[in-house]
Every structure is written in structure tokens, then in C-alpha cells.
Chain A
Amino acid sequence: MAPRTLSRRDILRGLGGAAIALPWLDAMGCKVDAPAPYDATVTPDAIPAEGPDATLADAAYDAAQADAARMRDGVGPRRLLVVTVPNGTIPSQWFPTGGETDFALSPILQPLAAHRNDLIIFKGIDNTVTPHGHFEAMCSMLTGFPQFGDREQEFLGASISLDQRIAQMQIARPDAPRFGSLVLGTNGAQSGVGVVSYRSAGNVVPKIQRASQLFEQLFPVDARAAARRRATQQSLLDSARDDYNRLRMALGAADQAALEGYLDAIRELERQLAASATALTCDPGVPAFGTGQNDGRHLPEITRDHIDALVLALRCDLTRVATFVTRSEGATSSYTFGWLGIGPSGDPYGIDSTDDATSTSHHSMSHNDATPRNVDYLTRVGRYFTTQLAYLIQKLKDTPDGPGGRSLFDSTTILYCSPIARGAHDTRDLPWLLAGSCGGAFRTGRYLTYEHASHLDLLASLQQAMGVPDERFGALDHCNGPLARLRA
């Protein structure tokens, strides 16, 4: 191997545990003849006891080792992005034609033409856990369980979501990034139809809704203020934890359980503070984010800003898992797509609260998806969203990752998904695809057709690629283990 020099990127890579970083640095051009042995002192037992369960800690260690081995070949750590789009699609305009490898992209997928060979497009994936409905599908899509709560309006996810499950493992790794995951959204409800990420039953992970806020969180501009805030927060967390420990003795089991979420928040914040104390060696630059009110009127700008900030976060290895809810599901807002020429004339970001067949609101159109007008409109909407996906893919491809000439995209897979399938609001034949091989885990450039496979099988494949040791994900009676034919 030709000796290479160490880039700033490599130094950044060293932020995580030194033991794991060694092989990476080694492969990245430190002039070492043989791979250095792993540091024997870093064993799963050395991982703080307050982290996740021992199995996960073991797996986290293994995943870090596996990433380190791939890093020796120049591929960065595996990354998973989940991008959700609302209200299903027009199946006839979504699904490709042709076979597994000789397929032709459909009108809605056409914006992804440049990335055709990086895609795996699915047909025959069903969410069998909740067979219909916006609320139900948003709750079950990434949790794998039916919703929680006993009234329609109170639906919440009933279990940890896939992104958070993987995030748990990410933060248990010796080379943990600062954030186990990032959860972003453009606007809308912080629950129910607005979110898909849950730390546990009923515990929503709120979406960061402004790119400027996200950027400040990732890259504090005022270092002194950030350091002061960090010190203050750390000290307050110490005292809150003391209070909690004193209090705990006096509480019954139900109250203790109710405080679990609070304790979990303390731990996570402590971890983030500790991780953020390390200086960044990656220069994010000074991106110009829109400052407009995030009220749904500026969706295109906000979406681009989010993608830009997200790619920066990945480039600086602040996280390896992110979920982006592009827009709320269902009828809770009456948004249109004025910038596509759909909606009230004269208002590029108008709403249409007409709730009948004339409506141009996304939700109403999705119900009336058989009229020629709505087929046309919804196809344009679908293309708008896939255009954003293409932008994200291109941005990842354009961002170098490590010194080996690889890009961020090489180590990434993007699950592009909608909670429901189409106008009937059922969840069979979901219009889902993967973009990216996740560092060689999946064989791309294919159109895979299944006879009603569970979406949980796909989620199981994703968690497996990201190193979670479980064979299945979500409701066990709905998941058969990793999806067939996916692996490279």
C-alpha cells in the first residue's frame, strides 16, 4: 500500500475511541506495515454500565470493529438515513417496468435517473402491522408495532423506532459520534402524524424544524458561550441526577417507570455534552440558511437547508443516523404545492381547506387519486420529492469521505418511504426504495419484487447492516428476519 498523508478528516475520525480509530488511521496512511492490534483494554465490559444492555454493548463493539475493518479499505462507517414522504403515491406512476436489473424508471422515479444503479426499488412490501391509515402507519412504520393509546387522536408509537434503536447502538460504540441520531422535519406536529421516531413507547423524538437551529446545535458559532453552556448544563445534570437518586427511593414502581424517560434524557444529554467537549476538526464553513419562519410556506427552501445541514453533520461525523420527515402525513394541514402550480393561484405556498373532491390539498388529492387532474398533480408532487432525494444523493456523492477517494454516499443507505401506499390509504405495496449500498451491505441497481413481504423484514435488514444483532425487528409475528435477496 502506498503511504499516504493524514487529512483533517482522518484526525476527526480519531475523535472516537483510540482503540477503534487505530486501524482506520492505520489504513488511512499512517505508515504501519501490519494492521495494529485492537487495544485489548477496550472490551465490552469497559463500556459504561449506564449504557444499553450488554448484548447491545457487545454488538456496538462488534459494529465499530466491522466499520474499522471496512475503513481499512477506505470506506467510511456505515450510515443510515430515513426520508419519509407523506400520503403515498400514484402506483402506476411510481413502480418501474421491467425486471430485476433491466427495469425502466417510472415518471415519478425519473428524477433519480442519474442514480439508477444505486437504487433498490421494492414492490410487494407491505406494512402488515397496521394495514391502513395515516396515524396508524406513522406509528407503526418505524416501530413495527400498532399504535399506542386508546383514542384515535392519541395515537403514539408503542415501541422504540428503528432509527433510535440503531442510534442506541451508535452511542454505545467506543467511537460513538456526538449524536446517536438526528431527527429533522420541515414543520408540523411533533407527534402523531408528524413524527416517526420514538425513544420508547409514547416517547416522541421531537423534530428539529429549522436548519439554522440544527446548524447552531451542530456547530456552535460562539465557542465561549458554548463552553459556558456546556459547563452549566453539566453541573445542572449532576444536581438533577442527585435529586433523582434521592427521590427514587421514595417512589413506587409506577412513578419510577414514569421517570425513566427523564433519566434517559439526563443520560443522553450528558453523553452529548461529553462528546461535544471535543473540538471539531472539520470546518463546516458558514452556510447561508434561510431565516424565514418555518410555517410551511417555505418548504422548498427549508428542505434544501435541512439536506445541506444534514450532509455537513455527516461530513463532520457528528452522527451516522438521521431521519427526515419531509412533511406531516394526512389531513392535519391542508397544504398544497403552489410552487408546482398546484393550489390557490397567486399564492406559491397556499393552503386549500376545501375538503371535497375539488380540493388541491395533498391529502384530499391523495384520496381522489383516480381523476386525471389528480394523477397529474400527484405525479408532479411525487417528482418533487424524488428530486429532493436526488439532490441529497448527489450531495453525498459530491462529499469526499476519507482519503481513499470515496464519498459519503458509498457508506450510506437512504430508506425513502411513505407510511401509506396510495389513495386508498392502505399500506400494501408500499412505494419504498433504498438508495445506496450502506458500505457494500446491499446490492443496488435492482427492482426487487416480493410476494407480500413484511416491511419489518426490510427494517430487520437495515438494522442488521447497521450492526444491531437482532434477527427480527418489531412485532415478532410479523417479521421473518432480514429480507431475502437484498444483500450484496
Chain B
Amino acid sequence: MVAFVELDGVGMTFRGRTGAYEAVRDFNLELSEGEFFCLLGTSGCGKTTVMNMLAGFDTPTAGQIRLEGKPVRGPGADRGVVFQGHDSLYDWLTARDNIAFGLRLRGMGARERRAVADRFLNMVGLTGQGGKHPSELSGGMKQRIQIARALANDPRMLLMDEPFGALDAMTRAVLQAELSRIWSENRKTVLFITHDIEEACALATRVGVMKRGPGGTLKAVVPIDLPFPRERTSDAFMASFRQVHELIHAEIHPHA
């Protein structure tokens, strides 16, 4: 039985004019289908590099990444990506056409596309907003559009790179709850990158904590066996939070 996603001894060394920089070293991880995995780490630990390699934007300089047994080569429609900023949305298209972009690439007819896009608009709570352009939407709404766009394309898994990092605390909490609900409904495999411990504990079925960079690698994996939706003030949640916090704290203050 092969794992759904395998990162097998993955390493990434960037070579630039100023010399080589080893961003990720010997990174090993297996994800099973339907899990929500949060990759947590301090800035510069290489967590985004891991995601970029899985997305196919960067090619690992060591090891191999496999999705359902097949080596990952370049970006593809089987891995939907939600980007940190909203620069990835197409300003010249309406929210609906942004969501339907992947369907258009596959040659789906306009009527069918519209129906699918409207279904995903509903799912992300933007019913009736499909005719607006990204410039007319708030930061939180744009991230909802990104999530809808990735899901409408029906990928095998979802990669999310700090998707709520640029939002205010209130909007972030609302979107975390929405994402949790959407995931509970469709159980897509998710790799979610974040540096927010509470966010990781609220969303994940497992949290992976990374060591500091350079040469970032997986330090520990903490399963969060709590039911959804999660009570952030419950003792069990606090216990998980504390456990993850201690792991990451040692990376922030290594000599404390």
C-alpha cells in the first residue's frame, strides 16, 4: 500500500550568485488521503519551499516526491494551489469566470461552467457575488474566490500557502471556520502551510513542525484528535496548542 503523498528524502539547494543555499534537507513525510496536514514553522524554515516542490514550481535537488505513486513533475491540475496573496486572481475576469477558469481550460461549455461556478460560489459563501471583479471584493472574499477556484477544478489534493496570512484576525477566524466546514464536507487531502500555531491546531488532523532553516526539515508530527468544529477554549485544544507551542518555541529560542 503506497501512501497518497510521499516526500522521500527531499532536499532543495538553491544556487545563486552569492553561493548555494540549502533551504530544505532530508525532508520525509507521508500523507494519507483525506487528511488535513498543517506544516508549521518559523519564517525561513523552508515550509514554502516544500509546498513549491509538491506543487511542481520547484524541482527538488535531492530525493523524490510522489503523488499516488507517480513522481511529481511540474505543476498540474491534480494539485490545486491557494496562494498567499491574491495576485493570482485574474483581474479582468469576474469572480465567476475566475472560479470557472480551470473548467474553461478543459473545454467545458459556458452554461455548465456557470452552473459549477455558482455552486462553488455558494460553497464559499459568496452567493450572488459572481458578477463582481476582484477589485470590487475584499481581501477575505478574494481568498474565498481562490479556494473556490481551486476546488471547482476538482484536484486530487489542495495546497495552501499561508492563505489567510494577510487578513485581519477577525476575517482570518471566520475563514478558518469556513475552510474547516468545507473540508469536513468534501474531505480533500490538504497540505496547509502556516506559522500560526492556533490556526494549525484549529484546522489540522496532524501538525508537522519544522526545524529552523537553513536546511529545514521535519522535527515532529503531532496528531490533533479533536472533533470538528473545534472549541478553541477547550482544555483538549489548549493541551494540543501547548504541545505544538513547546516544539516550535525551541526553534524560535534555540539557546533558551
Does A associate with B in a complex? Answer: no
Binding site for A on B (CB under 8 A): none
Contact residues of A with B, CB < 8 Å?
A: none
